[in-house]
Chains A and B, each alone.
Chain A
């Protein structure tokens, strides 16, 4: 590792430069691999054509996910060597126009807002892991009912969170803050180096157990490993004629790869000028797909189907993870608690590496805007994030605040910010120039026709997805928003945060260094 000194923002601040390419790849992969890989992907695939879902999924991966990820990596490295590490400064530096920094406000709001509820779910995983460490929840003669009671108590979704869960929430936030405050080198990168391989080991152990379950109940021969795999993977090609299948596949690829979250470019800003971005980005994406398609596609639904049949899918992604799987572990007998502990530890680590990636870019932005050290910036950001998360926790009833943030910021905001970034990359910066920048020092060279994909195909694909999504989802969510005071107030708070971020962008704009980096 080596340190470079960033003298922007008036003060000297140490910004760690990652020499080991593996470090940033694992950190970005850690950001991408989250709960969605294990819970959302199989639920979406089962709902939208089973194995046939992989066809639109592959198309979206190649034409939407990978190109936008490359664009974010290339912009991040380009701006990073010029001293910009927060998204507003990255966009301003890439375009050479300080006013473009204001478009980066969304790139700060998205990770900060998503963190406020994501850390709650992370705390649920930690609580479940410790429950299984001590033998697992007592599910008695009515496992399904008891599993639901356990989840309700932990999530507070019917009002009131128990004190024990508050402790887990505080622990999760403190752990995130402590790791971010340690900086890139000793914090996120060090964690990713051991957490990602550990997650792979945990996933392989759980997968091996699931694939050796056989047919636990001989009176129901269809509920077997092959039955479970068939339930998810048997193709229903008629689903490909429905627009919502293509929309779901694009959305899954999008959110799974962390594009549009405001995470990748700030991470890549810590690369050196001659470091590769094309192969690194592809490797991080491949790692994400390994966890999603192989582990997510073979473990979750297969296990749930064996013990619960097709009804396991009725409660959606969350239901699959927190209602169905506890019943599965209950039915595994003596090994159930061990497998349950390994599974929820895996989910917790996946959530932790993702939540850290939401805090770190915000911390980098605050640090460079106010000229603060990493530790002080992290302290401010964690305090603000904890207050926001406390708001979400306080309004746990019906998960209203969580759902408002998840849809309006974590979904709509992500789509919009991805669109902003791809337009800036392809049309403001220039796709050819961006491609040349991406190929600079590359370990894998992108052919010239990718500039055509980046200029026309990816923005067009994204536009279709965005319009289709708005037509399909916005009306019902606007109706829900209009009828919920909690949701309206939650979004008003996000608006206040946006003003604060814009003020910081203005302050940072004065210190921007837009000239070329030294060669």
Chain B
């Protein structure tokens, strides 16, 4: 495997794992950043 392959593999796999961990940590933490204010109606 050449260096370009290593870089793309490492970056892709790391980014996906990091995103997944971030999402589940935040989801299971239950924190909301936006209060449940009802959106404007047309």
Report how far A516 CA is from B27 CA in the complex, Å: 28
Q: How far is the CA of A359 from the CA of B30 in the complex (A)?
A: 30
Let me know if A439 and B1 touch, CB within 8 A: no
A122 at the interface (CB under 8 A from B): no
Are the C-beta atoms of B31 and A443 separated by less than 8 Å? yes
A290 is contacted by which of B1, B17, B41 (Cβ under 8 Å)?
A: B17
Given A54-B12, A289-B20, A443-B33, are A21 and B39 also a contact pair (CB < 8 Å)? no
Taking a contact as CB atoms under 8 Å apart, the answer to whether A283 and B16 are in contact is no
CA distance A97 to B27 in the complex (A): 34
Q: Which residues of B4-41 have CB atoms within 8 Å of chain A's CB atoms?
A: 4-9, 12-13, 16-17, 19-20, 22-24, 26-28, 30-41
Residue from B4, B16, B32, B39 in contact with A234 in the complex, judged by beta carbons closer than 8 Å: B4
1/0 contact string of A369-381 vs chain B (CB within 8 Å)? 0000000000000
In angstroms, Cα B1 to Cα A235, docked, is 10
Residue of A nearest to B32 (CB): A443
State how many residues of chain B have any CB contact under 8 Å with chain A: 33
Q: Is the CB of B38 within 8 A of A440?
A: yes
Cross-chain contact A282 with B39 (CB below 8 angstroms): no
Which of A229, A274, A276 is in CB contact (< 8 Å) with B1? A229
Asked whether, in the complex, the Cβ of B23 is within 8 Å of the Cβ of A283, the reply is yes
Q: Does A230 contact B (CB under 8 A)?
A: yes
Residues of B within 8 A of A519 (CB): 38
For B40, the chain A residues whose CB sits under 8 A away are 433, 436
CB <8 Å contact, A234 and B13: no
- Identify the closest chain A residue to B31 (Cβ): A443
B22, B39, B42 pick with most chain A CB within 10 angstroms: B39
A61 to B19, CA, bound (A): 13
A294 close to B37 (CB less than 8 A): no
Q: Which of B4, B34, B42 contacts A442 (CB 8 A)?
A: B34
